[in-house]
């Protein structure tokens, strides 16, 4: 069986939904599962809804109305007749969401985030499922929360593989096209959890692993895995074939085309991953599989924006030793900071990280009790795999370099 994943860009409007159907008709959909993200920028819009719920309740309904309006326009373009059943189905989902806000008693931002954010995926898959049925592509809508079980680490949940394996095999219908939501799961109490931002690729890999899929295809608005993000770098080059190892390295450093956790379950069962264009579905794209090397070995550029660089030094010029480093990492773990680069010397320690959970101020206060602390917000972290001196020089041009670290294959540069 095959697993396809369609991201938000592929279903950003009615034409995108129609194109998904076209892709399925061109490449075939027998014994197939499709994993779908929220439509367009819906996740961002839902994050604004959540922000208003906590910080500005007067704007909550207005933010919700924008999400409703966006989806209603897509419904009208796809179905026309407002008496079609899909309008009631979508209305029901919004009613369910509104009721959550009325009855919720939890002050935990991360819990509320996960209960709300997934409605983007529930809406997109419901609409697409109805549209596919409308044009004669019969399908089985699958609630991913009844399949993927996780712990209660909201916004970055960990999968319970044994339970998930059984549930996926129980709920997957081999006789028909299956459609489910990316990014989501549920915990032991059946509260919704999420697998981390951009986690729909990971969802596809989880299903592929549990169903022993013959391959996973991620459909993107680019021709495949490129050596650089074309939004930030000119003359990006397509990488036709890369190994699992190289793909994992690129994903680890932040290559946006593949979610960092996606490759691990696929590698364990040697399930190939294909990255292809939904605009040109019959083009070759990129294949990621066992034993294939990066050809040609050209520099690969990755950038992460809006990072934080923290530099620590001892208050009395004593050494930063194992005990200090252990304490620093305990605090980073406690405040849920994702570390991207570390560098230390005898009396200093620097770390570049992501402030995903907005705990930076609390972390800094804790650190200031024992260290001299300097920090820079909104820095950019550039990584070059298979770097050359010319590539480094071109990258550093007109930038202030705050930190630089080289290994045999990789250079990482933090700039302001």
Q: What is the DSSP track for 372-415?
A: EEEEEEEEEEEEEET--HHHHHHHHTT--EEEEEE-SSEEEEEE
Phi and psi (nearest 5°) for 318? -80, 165
**Stated pTM of the model:** 0.86
Task: For residues 115-123, give the mean pLDDT.
Answer: 98
Q: How long a stretch of residues is the chain?
A: 416
The DSSP-derived string for 272-314 is -EEEEETTSTTS--EEEETT---SS---EEEEEEEEEEEEEEE
User: What is the pairing mode between strands 241-243 and 2-6?
Assistant: unpaired
User: CA 207 to CA 200: how far, in whole Å?
Assistant: 11
Mean pLDDT of all residues in 266-272 = 96
Q: Which CATH class is domain 300-415?
A: alpha beta
* Span 311-321, average pLDDT: 92
Listed range (13-17, 55-59, 234-238) with the worst mean pLDDT: 234-238
Residues 404/412/156/49 CA torsion (nearest 10 deg): 80
Query: Which candidate, 170, 208, 207, 169, places its Cα nearest to that of 185?
Result: 207
pLDDT in tens, 9-26: 999 999 999 999 999 999
What does pLDDT average to over the chain? 95
Residue 296 pLDDT > 60: no
What does the CA dihedral 363, 365, 367, 373 come to, rounded to 10 degrees? 110
In 3D space, the residue among 18, 9, 2, 14 whose CA is nearest the CA of residue 178 turns out to be 2
- Where is average pLDDT lowest: 158-162, 218-222, 243-247? 243-247
Sequence spans of domains, the chain: 2-220, 300-415
pLDDT reported for residue 295: 53
Q: Which residues pair with 342 in a beta bridge?
A: 351
pLDDT exceeds 90 at position 198? no
In whole angstroms, what is the distance from residue 13 CA to residue 364 CA? 43
CA distance linking residue 394 with residue 391, whole number of Å:
5
CATH topology of domain 2-220: Carbamate kinase (3.40.1160)
197 in a labelled binding site: no
Q: What is the pLDDT of residue 293?
A: 61
């Amino acid at each position: 069986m095959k697993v396809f994943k369609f991201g938000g860009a592929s279903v950003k409007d009615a034409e995108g939904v129609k194109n998904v159907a076209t892709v399925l008709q061109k490449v075939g959909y027998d014994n197939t599962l499709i994993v779908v993200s929220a439509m367009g920028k819906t996740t961002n819009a839902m994050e604004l809804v959540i922000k208003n719920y906590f910080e500005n309740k007067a704007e909550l309904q207005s933010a919700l109305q924008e999400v409703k309006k966006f989806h209603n326009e897509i419904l009208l373009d796809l179905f026309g007749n407002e008496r079609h059943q899909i309008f009631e189905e979508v209305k029901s989902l919004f009613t369910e969401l509104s009721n959550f806000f009325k009855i919720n008693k939890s002050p935990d931002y991360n819990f509320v985030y996960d209960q709300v954010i997934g409605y983007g995926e529930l809406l997109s898959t419901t609409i697409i499922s109805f549209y596919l049925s409308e044009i004669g592509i019969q399908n089985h809508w699958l609630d991913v929360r009844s399949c993927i079980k996780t712990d209660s680490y909201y916004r970055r949940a960990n999968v319970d593989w044994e339970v998930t394996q059984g549930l996926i095999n129980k709920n997957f219908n081999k006789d028909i096209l299956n459609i489910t939501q990316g990014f989501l799961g549920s915990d032991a109490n059946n509260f919704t959890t999420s697998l981390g931002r951009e986690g729909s690729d990971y969802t596809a890999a989880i299903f592929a692993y549990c169903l022993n899929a013959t391959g996973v295809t991620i459909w993107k608005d680019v021709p495949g895995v490129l050596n650089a993000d074309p939004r930030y770098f000119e003359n990006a080059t397509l990488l036709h074939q890369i190994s699992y190892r190289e793909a994992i390295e690129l994903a680890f450093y932040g290559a946006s085309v593949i979610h960092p956790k996606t490759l691990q379950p696929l590698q364990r069962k040697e399930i190939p991953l294909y990255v292809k264009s939904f605009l040109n579905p019959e083009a070759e794209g990129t294949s990621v599989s066992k034993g294939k090397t990066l050809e040609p070995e050209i520099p690969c550029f990755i950038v992460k924006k809006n990072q934080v660089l923290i530099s620590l030094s001892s208050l009395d010029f004593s050494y930063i030793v194992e005990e200090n480093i252990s304490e620093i990492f305990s605090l980073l773990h406690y405040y849920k900071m994702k570390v991207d680069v570390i560098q230390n010397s005898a009396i200093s320690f620097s770390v570049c990280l992501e402030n995903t959970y907005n705990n930076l101020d609390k972390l800094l206060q804790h650190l200031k009790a024992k260290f001299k602390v300097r920090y820079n917000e909104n820095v950019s972290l550039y990584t070059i795999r298979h770097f050359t001196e010319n590539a480094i020089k071109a990258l550093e041009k007109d930038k202030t370099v705050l930190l630089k670290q080289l290994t045999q294959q990789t250079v990482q540069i933090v700039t302001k």
